[in-house]
Amino acid sequence: MAKIAIMGLGVVGGGTADLLTENRERLRKSCGEYLDLKYVLDVRDLPESPYRDLIVHDISAIVNDPEVSVVAETIGGLHPAYDYTVALLSAGKSVVTSNKQLVSEHGAELLALAKAHGCRYLFEASTGGGIPVIGPISRDLSGNEFSEISGILNGTTNYILTRMKGGGVGFETALSEAQKKGYAERDPSADVEGVDACRKIAILAATAFGKLIPPSRIHTEGITAIRQSDVAAAASVHAAVKLLGRAIRRGGECFVLVAPFFVPDDSPLSHVDGVYNAISVTGNYVGDVTFYGRGAGAKATASAVVSDLIAATAGGGVSPVWETADEGFPTEFGTFSCPRYLAFSGVDRNAVRVVFGEVEFIRGAEGEVACLTPNMTERECADAIARLTVGGGQLLSAIRVYESGDRPEA
Ligand code: NDP
Ligand code: HSE
């Protein structure tokens, strides 16, 4: 019988304990032995919890128990999750985690530590909730060179944007619904400011390219500036506003960013609604592969945690080696190029045309000029906006337009 422990009995840890209990017989068939939950580490006593008899408050109970070989870390945040993970890996115990903040900031070091001690550091649940994506990219698609990974990586913001698109529900109401459903981070500004998606694209880029980019070097925007009229403008040109994480490699350049995009209806990403996430991966042999499923929530995320618990118990699972990206990686963001949706007040169409050239004017809100620009770099776009605003115009919205990457021959 394999003895395991869970650290942090919150949304994800609680779901994981429930799955281990409810599917106990099913898991024995998958693993060939029972997965026996021996400890639950939490700061609280949780007298009402069905797991109250397993509660411990001191990590040394787990570190020093030779029966426990695999531990799930679902505390979140950097400390004490980092310190506990280091102690466990150093003791030769495998750790599986849903903690994307920790993986995105210390993943290279923790993977190396696991390797040095002959154990595993697995993190399927850190990205895409219940969607198997880390394993498939690192294992099943590992023969490919990847040119792009783009996805809807945050369930909370996708839930909010979907409710806004449906109309009738404002930003704050939709966020509060997402919080009640257990999707949001403890500090939901990490969701709505794009920080959570930034951590996830850092993990996906490292999985695909082998280099962990510090989140602070990833250009990150959230959805707080998105207006109902932007969502309507997108719909008028057969697109949806989606918060995307993107890692793109073209020639010698690599761009990694998180930002809202107009996603055209002919992309599978445009139809991903509610808490669902989707990640499209482009490999030079496989072409496009899209992974789709629930990106947050207790049950879906527990599914991913437990798949790693099963793998680690058997001494398997993908535990790669990552380098830390050097200063030139990713490419300087000012040269990233794409078309844009822009909305202005205080200018007429002529003034916009003079500055931006051949734009396509689209339906905007009352009193606004809205358009789609041709491809332009970040720097070119910022310069053009500055010229227009010096002339009295006011920029109300600027949202990039998603164009998927190069495609291999069909
Ligand atoms: P919760 O806040 O619900 O759970 C965290 C749990 O850890 C709480 O029970 C908390 O107790 C406990 N805890 C806090 N400090 C300690 C400590 N020092 N020792 C032991 N336990 C402690 O968070 P989630 O379950 O939502 O998220 C956990 C992690 O999983 C985060 O990294 C999150 O980003 C990630 N994640 C979350 C998903 C989701 O849908 N919610 C999906 C995928 C990943 P207390 O409440 O008393 O502080
Ligand atoms: N807050 C995160 C989200 C949880 O909404 O996607 C899943 O990682």
348-406 pLDDT per residue, tens: 999 999 999 999 999 999 999 999 999 999 999 999 999 999 988 999 999 999 997 54
Position 49 scores a pLDDT of 98
pLDDT by residue (tens digit) across 183-213? 999 999 999 999 999 999 999 999 999 999 9
Confirm if 101 and 72 have CB atoms less than 8 A apart.
no
Ligand nearest to the CA of 11: 1
Q: 266: closest CA among 296, 288, 294, 249? A: 288
Sheet holding 68-73, edge to edge: 55-56, 35-41, 2-7, 68-73, 94-97, 121-122
How far, in Å, from the CA of 186 to the mean position of ligand 1?
8
CATH 3.30.70 for domain 333-401, yes or no, is yes
* CATH 3.30.70 intervals, the chain: 333-401
Where is average pLDDT lowest: 37-46, 63-72, 163-172, 252-261? 163-172
The reply to whether ligand 2 has any atom less than 6 angstroms from the CB of 220 is no
Q: Which atom of ligand 2 is nearest to the CA of 128?
A: 8
Q: What is the mean pLDDT of residues 22-37?
A: 95
Confidence label for 408 from pLDDT (cuts 50, 70 and 90): very low
Ligand nearest to the CA of 184: 2
Q: What is the mean pLDDT of residues 154-163?
A: 97
The reply to whether ligand 1 has any atom less than 6 angstroms from the CB of 186 is yes
Q: What is the mean pLDDT of residues 159-178?
A: 89
Position 251 scores a pLDDT of 86
- For β-strands 323-324 and 211-212, DSSP reports them as parallel
Q: What is the mean pLDDT of residues 324-350?
A: 95
Q: Is the pLDDT of residue 410 over 50?
A: no
Regarding predicted confidence, which is higher, 38 or 406?
38
How far, in Å, from the CA of 360 to the mean position of ligand 1?
47
pTM, whole model, 2 decimals?
0.97
Residue nearest to atom 9 of ligand 1 (CA): 10
User: Among this protein's residues, is 180 annotated catalytic?
Assistant: no
How far, in Å, from the CA of 329 to the mean position of ligand 1?
32
DSSP state of 124: G
Mean pLDDT value across the chain: 95
Class of domain 2-130+314-319: alpha beta
Ligand nearest to the CA of 182: 1
**Residue from 196, 279, 299 to probe ligand 2 pocket by mutation (most atoms less than 8 Å from CB):** 196
Q: What is the mean pLDDT of residues 224-237?
A: 95
How far, in Å, from the CA of 297 to the mean position of ligand 2?
8
Neighbours of 182 (CB within 10 A): 18
Q: What is the mean pLDDT of residues 88-100?
A: 98
Helix (H) or strand (E) holding 383: helix 378-390
**Residue from 9, 75, 88 to probe ligand 1 pocket by mutation (most atoms less than 8 Å from CB):** 75
> CB pairs under 8 A, 24+ apart, for 133-136?
133/204, 133/279, 133/291, 134/203, 134/204, 134/207, 134/318, 135/307, 135/317, 135/318, 136/289, 136/291
**Percent over 70 (pLDDT), the chain:** 98
How far, in Å, from the CA of 156 to the mean position of ligand 1?
16
Confirm if 3 and 69 have CB atoms less than 8 A apart.
yes
**Residue from 187, 191, 301 to probe ligand 2 pocket by mutation (most atoms less than 8 Å from CB):** 191
Confirm if 97 and 75 have CB atoms less than 8 A apart.
no
CATH of 134-295, one of 3.30.530.20, 3.30.465.10, 3.40.50.300, 3.30.360.10: 3.30.360.10
* CATH 3.30.360.10 intervals, the chain: 134-295
